[in-house]
Amino acid sequence: MKTLHIASVAIINPKKELLLVCKKNSEFYQLTGGKIQNGEQDIETIIREAKEEIGLEIQPHQLTFLGSHQTKAVNEHNTMVHGYVYWLHLPYFFEPVIANEIDKFVWMNKNNYQEYSWAHLAKELVQPKWLSL
């Protein structure tokens, strides 16, 4: 089984809603982020992916390390993901402009989050901590 190393960001708005995105041809909602490219640091990956996927410019000082976690990938067979996840608490409301492989997004709140299929990394690492905010 192969392992992908990824970096992701849990974006929280002023209403404590969590932004999740859904790739084309997938039913799972996941964090903004992606595969760490050769020579790239995890924060560099997050900055690049946020701009590419949702049009959000992030500065390194805005990110707080949440943790790392290894789990099964939802969109690739026979694959594990080892994810490095950061918090980004936005002091303003942001409307994503989706691009690349992203098909749609949702701002999760404590009333709707159970209506969606979450990718394992987001569900196992982020969801419990987000719900306690």
Q: What is the pLDDT of residue 32?
A: 98
pLDDT single digits (tens) 55-95: 999 999 999 999 999 999 999 999 999 999 999 999 999 99
Under the banding of pLDDT at 50, 70 and 90, the label for residue 49 is very high
**DSSP-derived pairing of the beta strands 18-23 and 102-108:** antiparallel
Over pLDDT 70: what percentage of the chain? 100
First to last CA, the chain: 35
Q: What is the pLDDT of residue 131?
A: 98
Q: Whole-model pTM?
A: 0.97
